[in-house]
Amino acid sequence: MTQGIRARVRAETTEAIKETARRHLAVDGPNLSLRAVARELGVASSAVYRYFASRDELLTALIIDAYNELGDAVETAEAAAPRRDLAARFRATGHGARNWARAHPHEYGLTYGTPVPGYAAPQDTTGPATRPVLVLMNILRDGVARGSVHHSDRLAAPVRADLEAALATLEYTDVPPAVLARGMIAWTELYGALNFELFGRLIGAINDYDAWFDHQLRSLSGYLGLPAR
């Protein structure tokens, strides 16, 4: 497998570049410097171009990785909760997202922070980006199937239309739009909570972030009507 060795080295180098770039995100934010990455790797800046055609391409790779890592984290966290306990599954989902985001705040910023100016995310990111949402939707679907989750909130016509279209696209037509609406609102809150915590908007107000996040999850669990066990 002589060809294999070349390919493996190449993959390793690619990973090393991304690894270094990830570390640089912490300092430079999304406008990270190719030259700085190359410098830290002890390599000519032009060498990086053997692996990534441009700075934007490297950034795109990092973004896709981040979405997938977050997706992995959320999925495995949720999978560890007992299937029948919908509330526990929901909390596991939230804590999974938060733990990953806290461990990789700058990669999280890449995915859910302010868009990088002048940089247009390619299509490839939309798939991985929806993974956490699907985890939440599966919980809701299970709850609906068991007859334990149901909401009858009134929906204005355009809202209903948008939600029904989304459900059709994702093939979740067994989930009623009113349930999806609450799911999206809960998801939006969690996202906002992560931003507030990670970007330091709660400094001075909250000291025990673990407890506050857990409280939010429990409150949202009630809002979603997830049975306690």
Partner DNA sequence: TGTACATCAGTGAACGCGCGTTCACTGATGTAC
Residues engaged in binding a copy of itself (CB under 8 A): 27-29, 31, 109, 112-118, 126, 153, 155-156, 158-159, 161-162, 166, 181-182, 185, 188-193, 195-196, 199-201, 204-208, 211-212, 214-216, 219-220, 222-223
* Dist. CA 19–CA 111, nearest whole Å: 17
CB under 7 A: which stretch of 31-39, 111-119, 123-131, 165-173 binds DNA?
A: 31-39
DSSP one-letter code for 1: -
> Tokens 């800046």 correspond to what residue?
45
Cβ atoms 69, 107 nearer than 8 A:
yes
Is the sign of the CA dihedral 176, 180, 181, 186 positive or negative? Answer: positive
Q: How far is the CB of 10 from a copy of itself (least distance, A)?
A: 31
Q: Record the tokens describing residue 122, joined without a space.
A: 């390619």
Which partner from the list DNA, a copy of itself, none does 112 bind, CB cut-off 5 to 8 Å by kind?
Answer: a copy of itself
Q: The tokens of 103 are what?
A: 């461990």
Residue 60 contacts residue 23 (beta carbons within 8 Å): no
Q: Taking CB under 7 A as the rule, which mask of x and - marks residues 47-66 in contact with DNA?
A: x-xxx--xxx----------
Q: In angstroms, rounded to a whole number, what is the distance separating the alpha carbons of residues 207 and 202? A: 8
Choosing from 22, 25, 32, 67, the residue that interacts with DNA (CB under 7 A) is 32
Q: How far is the CB of 59 from DNA (least distance, A)?
A: 10
For a copy of itself, the closer of residues 42 and 117 by Cβ is 117
With 0-12 / 13-18 / 19 or more C-beta atoms within 10 angstroms meaning exposed / middle / buried, residue 32 is: buried
Binding interface with DNA (CB under 7 A): 2-3, 5-6, 10, 13, 32-36, 39, 42-47, 49-51, 54-56
